[in-house]
Structure 1
Amino acid sequence: MNEALPLRSRAEATTANLAALLARAEQLAAAVMPGGHGRRRAGHGDDFWQYRAVQPGDTLRMVDWRRSARSDAQFVRQKEWQISQSVFFWVDRARSMQFSSAPDLPQKMDRAQLVSLAIAILLSRGGEQIGLCGENLPPRAGPKQLARFADFLMHLKPEDYAAPQFETIKNNAFCVCVSDFLGDIETVEKTVLKASAKGARGVCLQILDPAEESFPFRGRTVFDSVGGTIQHDTLQAADLSARYLERLAERKARLEHLCHQTGWTFSTHHTNTPAQSAAMWLYKMIEGPR
């Protein structure tokens, strides 16, 4: 009986943390799209969406003559897109994502979980199919899928660094990578190129702690990876600053080139800035035409 108490306490703590994450993600989703019910896009469906002016390439059959008769211009009646899309998330939960340089800053993982879940909530409201790569969670729609998505996000990984996994994506899917991208860059490049070869489009959102961007370290410093597998001791940390910043800039340049090459989009978000800025950027990128 006594042995069961710690297990029960851990289970209760995990449940409480999940509930808190869901509540924060709901608030963030509401900030990104107040009162929204998911994306609305033009496409093949039965529900009226809007009228728009005739554009080059439109045929006479597309013109709504009743609406056009009320003005000097011609209009097309657009219907709302009703085919659900598959959005594959890969959210880095390796140990490097547990880093935070100050007590008042969130861990990179916390920010990645929060932003990803908020976007998943908005997509789910719009009837989109969401899935989580690296887990047994293929894309589906509905509240049960969203609950499983949130639960899987709480499962941490044992390795220090991780790379995207998109082996199970469908052709012409949309991929969302959220990571610090501080692991093996060549693996990231190969994975994204393979996904692009399947017709997938996507975004790479890099999340960094401000200390990782500025390298404020001076004097005697011992650098440890979060998992403790890598350690470097230096007497003059300032001497490493220029080389570190150069390598970070090179890594960002490679990620930007990769996304440009594949038609994906890349952006960097820092944990000392509001989560809403990252969520709004990410939602806008997914919302855009595919």
Structure 2
Amino acid sequence: MTSATATRRSDLEHRAESASARLPGLLVAARHIAATVALGSHGRRRPGMGESFWQFRPYSSDDAPHAIDWRQSAKSDSVFVREREWISAQTVTLWCDLSASMHFRSHKDWPLKAERAATLSLALAILLIEGGEKIIRLGADGSPVHGASAGRLALTHMAERLAIDLAHPGIGGQPSFSSAMARHGTTILMSDFLLPIADIAQMLTSFAQRSQTLHLVQILDPAEETLPYAGRVRFEGLEDDGEFVIDRVEEARTAYIEKLTTHREALRALCVAHGWSFAVHRTDMPPHLTLVALHRAIGERDR
């Protein structure tokens, strides 16, 4: 075995160990959040691919008498026929930003932004699959990790891949979503969305072109919203983007918050213009609150 091969093998083993350590906690947290949401709602169970349900329609002269559903007909003055209608499962596409810039937290008791994004994404996948939907997960570059899938195996594969990506974040390049977009689909994107608005608008162009229903969830650490520091502070980038020093942070706080607010309102306006939804989640918030709102927003498309 060459030294290069040994190094690669050691690196793979390290990646596997790191991912394995994260996997149980990720799954437990996601299932707990999903269960909390499910207990607080009636769910949105839909028949999946190949499933069917009974529907009723008024009796016509072309129908055979044995097709009449007398129980349903007895509830009104009309006569109804019962028949089966086949329903295809809807497919929801999920992407969460796990790049190095998302691996930030300002307090040890709060999760990394990337951890919260992964947990929310997996919890949502659990709810969707339990509701009869299929899911597609997009990788860091915006391309599908796998085709549309459902069931426990799909959740296991998704959790394993998320754990690996969390353990080894890459430098965040702008994803290209164009290859993944079907027309009139539903996609959920989770990130801090702190890129310039023009870059974000360009990144989302393919969704608008394909008439996608899009749901954006901006995930931020509380410190990114309030800039709670004082005195001389050195800020270091998480993606090899250097560092800078502010002598009196408290004097920059007002301008910083105003700039963040302006940026967020531009994000919201972008979503409103296309009929998309936009939500903000802070990592010190209970995750199920955001998941309830997101789950409800996705359900609006069925009405």
TM range (shorter): 0.7 to 0.9
Deviates more, 1:26-35 or 1:66-75: 66-75
Residues 152, 66 of structure 1: alpha-carbon distance in 2 compared, 3 angstrom cutoff: same
Q: Please state if 1:15 is matched with 2:20.
A: yes
Q: Please state if 1:140 is matched with 2:149.
A: yes
SS at match of 1:250: helix
Question: What's the CA shift for 1:146?
Answer: 2.1
Q: Is the 8 A contact 2:19 2:160 kept in 1?
A: no
Question: What's the CA shift for 1:118?
Answer: 0.5
Residues 183, 31 of structure 1: alpha-carbon distance in 2 compared, 3 angstrom cutoff: same
Residues 210, 61 of structure 1: alpha-carbon distance in 2 compared, 3 angstrom cutoff: farther
Question: What's the CA shift for 1:98?
Answer: 0.7
Q: 1:215-268 deviations in whole A, cap 9, x for unaligned? A: 112211111112342311111112221221121111111111111111110010
> Which residue is equivalent to 2:75?
70
Q: Please state if 1:183 is matched with 2:192.
A: no
SS at match of 1:47: strand
SS at match of 1:111: helix
> Which residue is equivalent to 2:65?
none
> Which residue is equivalent to 1:46?
52
Distance in 1, matches of 2:300 and 2:83, equals 17
Higher-Rg structure is: 2
SS at match of 1:239: helix
> Which residue is equivalent to 2:99?
94
Question: What's the CA shift for 1:190?
Answer: 2.1
Structure 2 unmatched runs, 5+: 61-68
Q: 1:52-80 deviations in whole A, cap 9, x for unaligned? A: xxxxxxx9669x88536435899998988
Letter in 1 for 2:216: C
Report matched runs for 1:256-275 at 5 Å: 256-275=268-287
> Which residue is equivalent to 2:258?
246
Identity %: 33
Deviates more, 1:107-116 or 1:224-233: 224-233
Q: Is the 8 A contact 1:131 1:149 kept in 2?
A: no
> Aligned residues, how many?
282
Letter in 2 for 1:138: G
Distance in 2, matches of 1:247 and 1:231, equals 20
Tell me how large the CA RMSD over aligned residues is: 3.5
Letter in 2 for 1:201: T
Question: What's the CA shift for 1:169?
Answer: 1.5
SS at match of 1:205: strand
Structure 1 unmatched runs, 5+: 52-58
Report matched runs for 1:224-243 at 5 Å: 224-243=236-255
Residues 147, 36 of structure 1: alpha-carbon distance in 2 compared, 3 angstrom cutoff: farther
Question: What's the CA shift for 1:45?
Answer: 6.6
Letter in 1 for 2:265: A
> Which residue is equivalent to 1:223?
235
Letter in 2 for 1:14: A
Distance in 1, matches of 2:208 and 2:178, equals 10
Deviates more, 1:200-209 or 1:241-250: 241-250
- What TM-score comes out, normalization by structure 1 length? 0.83
Deviates more, 1:268-277 or 1:74-83: 74-83
